[in-house]
Amino acid sequence: MSRPPSAFFRGAREMSPALSLLLLLPFLVVLFIAFLLPVGVLLHESLFVPAATLEHYARVFDEPVYLRVLWRTIRIAALVTAICLVLGYPLAVAMARARGVALLLLAACVMLPLWTSVLVRTYAWTVLMRRNGLINDLLIGLGFTDAPVRLLYTEGAVVVAMAHVLLPFMVLPLWTALRAIPTDYARAAAILGARPLRSFVEVTLPLSLPGVASGSLMVFLLALGFFVTPALVGGPQQMMIATLISQQVRELLNWPFAGALVGCLLLLTLVLVAFFNRAMRLDRFVASS
C-alpha cells in the first residue's frame, strides 16, 4: 500500500523545506529575542542617539585607552588560542588512540570542567595565585623566590585562567577530526618508510586541519567576549572589551557608546570568521569532518 503524499514529509531521509523551517522555528525565535533584537537595539542607539551620527564610533578610535583595550583583547584571545592548541592537540591525539577505560578517563578529564561553573573555576585560580596561595607557597618552598610574587591582576593570570576554561572547546573538535582519520594511513606511511614524525607532519597533521581551524576559531571568538574570568583574575588593569562594555552599561549608563563598542566587536568577529573561511577553507573542512 502506497503512502499518501504529504506536503511536509517526503521520505525516511528527506524532509520538505516547510517541515525543516517548522523544526527550526523555535531556535530562530530564541535567536531573534536573545541575540538579534538586543544587538539591533544597541547598534541603533549607537548610530541614531541623540541623532544620526558616527561620533560614538569615532570616540572608540580617537581615545587611546579604548584602542588599548581592544588591542589587549585581541592579544589575549590570540595567546589563549595558541596555548589551547599546544596543550589540546597532544591530548586529542591521546584520546583518538585510546580505547576502553583509558578513553573514558581522558574524556572525563575534558568534560568535567564543562560541568563546573566558570565562576567556580575562575575563583579557584584566584585562590591559587593570591599572595599566600598555593603557587607562591610552592615557589618559596622550592627556593625560587624569597617573597610572594605578584601573580593575580596580571595579563599572564588572565591568559592562564582563560586557557584552562576554554581548553575543552579546542580538544573536542580536534578529537573529532583525529578520530575520523583512518589508522591505515599511518600504517601505510610506515610501510613506505616514513618515520613517526614524518608520518605525523605529512599525513596526520594535514588531515586534522579541520579540527585545528574549527577549534581555534571557536576558542578565539569565545575569548574575545569573555567577561567573568578577566574581571576576577585581571582586575581593572587588565580590562577587556566585554568588561568595558559592561562598565559603560551598568556604571556610566552610556548605552550609545556601549552600542558602538558592540558594533566594533561584532565587526571584528565577522572579519575574523571571513578570514578563517577564506584562508583555512573552513566551510569545506567542516563539511568533510
Task: Provide the pLDDT for residue 198.
Answer: 84
Task: Provide the pLDDT for residue 1.
Answer: 47
What domains are defined for the chain?
A: 44-97+154-288 (1.10.3720.10)
- CB contact set of 229 (below 8 Å; sequence gap of 6+): 118, 122, 125, 158, 161, 162, 165
- CB contact set of 92 (below 8 Å; sequence gap of 6+): 171, 174, 175, 178, 211
- How much is the pTM? 0.83
Please give the DSSP secondary-structure letter assigned to residue 114.
G
234-240: long-range contacts, CB 8 A cutoff, minimum separation 24: 234/153, 234/154, 234/155, 234/157, 234/158, 235/152, 235/153, 237/153, 237/154, 238/72, 238/153, 238/154, 238/155, 238/157, 238/158, 239/69, 239/72, 240/69, 240/72, 240/73, 240/76, 240/158
Burial 156-169 (b: 16+ CB within 10 A, else e): ebbbbbbbbbbbbb
Q: Which of 140, 138, 137, 135 is nearest to 160 (CA)?
A: 135
Task: Provide the pLDDT for residue 56.
Answer: 87
Task: Provide the pLDDT for residue 283.
Answer: 47
Q: Which residue has the cell 614524525?
A: 197
* Gap between the terminal Cα atoms of the chain: 39
Residue at 261: amino acid letter? L
Question: Which grid cell sits at 287?
Answer: 563539511
How many other β-carbons are positioned within 10 Å of the β-carbon of residue 254? 15
- CB contact set of 236 (below 8 Å; sequence gap of 6+): none
Is 109:95 a contact under the CB 8 Å cutoff? no
The 10s digit of each residue's pLDDT in 126-155 is: 888 888 888 888 888 888 888 888 888 889
Residue at 252: amino acid letter? L
Task: Provide the pLDDT for residue 4.
Answer: 53
**Averages of pLDDT over each 10 residues, the chain, 289 residues:** 50 69 89 88 86 86 89 93 94 89 88 84 88 87 85 90 93 91 82 82 85 90 89 85 88 89 88 76 50
Please tell me the distance from the alpha carbon of residue 113 to that of residue 215, in angstroms, as a whole number: 17
Beta bridge partners of 14: 11
How many other β-carbons are positioned within 10 Å of the β-carbon of residue 177? 24
Is 113:164 a contact under the CB 8 Å cutoff? yes
Is 95:106 a contact under the CB 8 Å cutoff? yes
Task: Provide the pLDDT for residue 75.
Answer: 93
Please tell me the distance from the alpha carbon of residue 172 to that of residue 91, in angstroms, as a whole number: 10
